[in-house]
Amino acid sequence: MSLSVNTNNGAMLALRNLNATNTALETTNLRITTGLKVNGPKDDASTYAIAQNMRGEIAGMRAVKTALANGAAVVNVAIEGGKSIADLLVELKAKTVQANQAGLDAASRTALTNDFFALRDQIDTTVATAEFNGINLLKNGASGTTVLSTVDGSTIAVSAQNMSAIFLQFGQPYADLSSSSNASQTLSLIESATISVSDSLAALGSVARRIEVQSEFTAKLTDIQRAGVGNLVDADLAEESANLQAQQIKQQLGVQALSIANSSPQAILSLFG
């Protein structure tokens, strides 16, 4: 092998290897820092593109989950309001049955009537407060709503269920307990109202269950998509830890090899000593 002070092939080779080791070490450090083996398109263009598309799907499904949660809250508030109204109807029926007896003294009838009106008014108070995010499905004249259910824009329709006293036909001026005959008529109205409220609660419960099922399914899809992205781009940290140690040793050896290669021209001086 010829010796030259102008060209040191050994040093150039050692430097190339050291640079390659430093590049690999930087890549490993980045993977350990971010937890990703694909941090950008230059790492793996096709995998990065696929992962980005899947991330877009995940973002869309998260938005759907939020919409479903909001819709579930709207329906659940209406259900709780309807259950309270159903309980009030039970109490109203009890008051009406008491007032439906002939020969009831005036004081008792007045007391029952006052209780009846108070309970009846509480129905409308309950209806007015059964609202979430500006949506009330129980009030008189309420319109239904829709709940976003899929990324492609499909929706679940939620119908309004009017439970106001006036709609149930025993609000003013339909019902009172001023006489036994009026109480008998009011009892019939309350029984019809009870059936109507039960039907409305069944409808709300059905749509609530549908929203719940769709929400659970969307959550599962999101988990699957996230796992898929992880399989594509996540780094194996155990493997990267082993690579890191190996590359650090290679770096140290590369530095030593470069130092040895740089010192080889010194041998030329011994030829002229």
- Encoded tokens for 85: 């109204």
So what's the pLDDT on residue 126?
96
Residue type, 37: K
Domains of the chain and any CATH numbers = 62-232 (1.20.1330.10)
Q: Model-level pTM?
A: 0.78
Residue type, 264: S
6 band by pLDDT with thresholds 50, 70 and 90: low
Q: What CA–CA distances, in Å, run from 112 to 93, 185, 229? A: 11, 16, 67
Q: Residue 211 in contact with residue 68, Cβ under 8 Å?
A: yes
Q: Which residue has the higher pLDDT, 114 or 11?
A: 114
Average pLDDT, rounded, for the chain: 89
Model confidence pLDDT, tens digit, residues 147-189: 999 999 999 999 999 999 888 887 666 677 888 888 888 899 9
Q: Residue 169 in contact with residue 193, Cβ under 8 Å?
A: yes
Best CA proximity match to 61, nearest among 228, 202, 203, 204: 228
**What contacts 119, CB < 8 A, 6 or more positions away?**
88, 91, 92, 95
**What contacts 73, CB < 8 A, 6 or more positions away?**
132, 133
Say if residue 237's pLDDT is above 90.
Answer: no
